[in-house]
Structures are given as C-alpha cells and as structure tokens.
Amino acid sequence: MTDDSTLARTEELIVPADAAGIRLDTFLGRRQTEHSRTFFQQLIKDGKVLVNGEIAKRSHVLEGGEALRIQLPPPEDPWPQPQDLPIDILHEDDDIIVVNKAAGMVVHPAAGNPDGTLVNALLHHCPDLPGINGVKRPGLVHRLDRETSGAMVVAKNDRAMKMLSDQIRVRTMSRLYVALVLGEPGWTETTINAPIGRHETQRIKRAVNGAAPRDAVTHLRVLASAHGFALLRCQLETGRTHQIRVHCDHAGHTIAGDWLYGGAEERLLERLRKTPSPVRSAFAKLNRPFLHARVLRLRHPADNQWHTFVAPLPEELMRLLSTLFAPLDIDQLLAGVD
C-alpha cells in the first residue's frame, strides 16, 4: 500500500478576476503562507506550474480567469532525522550542551533546509533531545543566523529548558558578540534602542520600524579601529532576528561581509581601494559576515551558579584581524569582549 503523504501533490485553481495585472510568482506567494515567493519562482523555473496547460514563466502577468495547475513537492518530514555531522562542543554535562556553531550551518530544519542542520547533528549526538521543546527545535534555547558562528546553549532536559528560557525572557543571560564593521565610529560606546520588524518588501530581511516591530536593544563598544574599519563588542539585551546586523547598519556601520544589508559589498570594495595590499588580500578571503558569538554567560540549571563559555574565533577571522590591526595583540583585544 502506498503512503500518499510521501508523494508530490497537485493543486488546480482558477485565477480570480481581481488578480489581473499581478505577476504569477507574486500571486502564488501571496496566496499561500506556507511557502515563499522564492519557492514558487523555483517551482515555475522547474516547469511545475502550468497556465492554461502551458509551462509558465515567473514573469507571466495574470489576466484573471486562467486555469493554474501547480505540482507541489512532497511535504517535508516533520521530524528531523539524526545525522552524523561534525559539531564543535565547548561543554557538555547532564543538563546542557554548549556548541561553537560553524558559519554556514543552519540551526534547525526549515523550508529549503530540510537537513544538514545543527539540530540533525545534535539528534545524532544526543538521541534524548526529541522530547525537549517540540519536534522541529529540540533543545534549542536560542538561535544564530546561518552565517554567524559562535556559542549556543542547548538544553538536554525539561528543567534546563525552562530555566534557560526564563533567563532569555528576563534578559539575564549574557550574549556577547564580536563584529568587524565598515567605518570608524565617532563614539567609544553607544546603545541602539530601535524596534525591529520584517522588511516591507524583502522577506528575508529585517528593518528598524519594519512590519510588526518588536523592541530591540544592542549595546556597542569599540575595541579597535584602523584603515576605515572597527572591531566592536556587541551585547544583546534582546534577541531579534538579525538584530546586530540591522542595528549596526542602522548606526551607519554595516558588518563587513554582510551582503544583505546596507549595500555592504560595494561599500567594502570602495573602502578597500584605500587600504594596504595585505589588508585587501585578507579581505578577499572573507566570504561571510564578520559576526561571531564570542561569550555566553548563564546560570547553570544544576547549581544556579554563573558559568561563562567562550567560543574561539574561527581561524580565518583571526587571520583577518591580525592583518588589519597589526601589530596589536588580537588575543588581548578579544579579552575586552570576555
């Protein structure tokens, strides 16, 4: 007997008259909240959307009354599967795991990233996690962006999950980041208190005072500056999606390597034209935002005492700092974060 839940499914519909003048991919993206416009653009590109029986282009403009036939892929497995993936464990005991997440690793499965995530790796390492905090995000107390590296804590039991989540909620867990930004600030320390919501037109971005904004507070301190760049200590008071990236850009100092915000690629290239050759060569190897979760300080669920965990910077980021801020001692600079 065939399990229909594993099969592709087809939807058929007639385009309503009030959709006239709207692009096909835009119409499909607005009609469904389960999938994004990008998802439907790829579906159209793959020939999985027919308009009046003909393969459509994503730029097709609807007239109203067309018959659409949409072949959707099988639904993703709702339960993440264990995978033997490398993870850098900074600390583990009966209650928590603290990992140094690699840049490029997605934290949990989602549309477009059904596996290969930190959750898949954690389930292989710790099979008991599925009962903690639901199906999709077992053990997760907080998250990091895909391209952000650094310290994350994972709960191994319900008691630890509650205690750690409460620390996040009441803002007592300390999360300190190091970021390299464009420009040398005119201040030594500042606090950005600016609510963050979804970007009005770009789904993957966030913006200050965007749609449905929530309060967001980030404390910034300059650790060093040179050649038109600055190394910042960033302390989260709240934890909104892309918070440090959005707040740094809002302050006029976009994070180096963050191509999503502030036209950073063009601005970086312009700034590098004025720097020494070794600095330009070091930046040529930067293929991610220079943002790293350096320090995590929390009350341990076992004894309620403060514990501090430090995630070393990836080697490529250390090399860049050593070149940019030579002859300063980078380890001593980073001690200002700890």
Active site residues: 145
- Look-up: residue for tokens 């935002």? 289
The answer to whether the CB of 260 falls within 8 A of the CB of 187 is no
- Look at residues 241, 260, 251, 238 and name the one whose alpha carbon lies nearest to residue 197: 241
The angle at the Cα of 238, spanning 232 to 244, to the nearest 5 degrees, equals 35
Whole-angstrom CA distances from 303 to 110, 300, 338 are 35, 6, 22
Residues 123-155 as b/e (b if ≥16 CB within 10 A, e otherwise) read bebbeebbebbeeebbbbbbbbbebbbbbbbbb
Please give the Cα distance from 150 to 134 (Å, whole number).
24
Please give the Cα distance from 280 to 295 (Å, whole number).
29
The answer to whether the CB of 61 falls within 8 A of the CB of 21 is yes
Which pair of tokens denotes residue 23?
């692009």
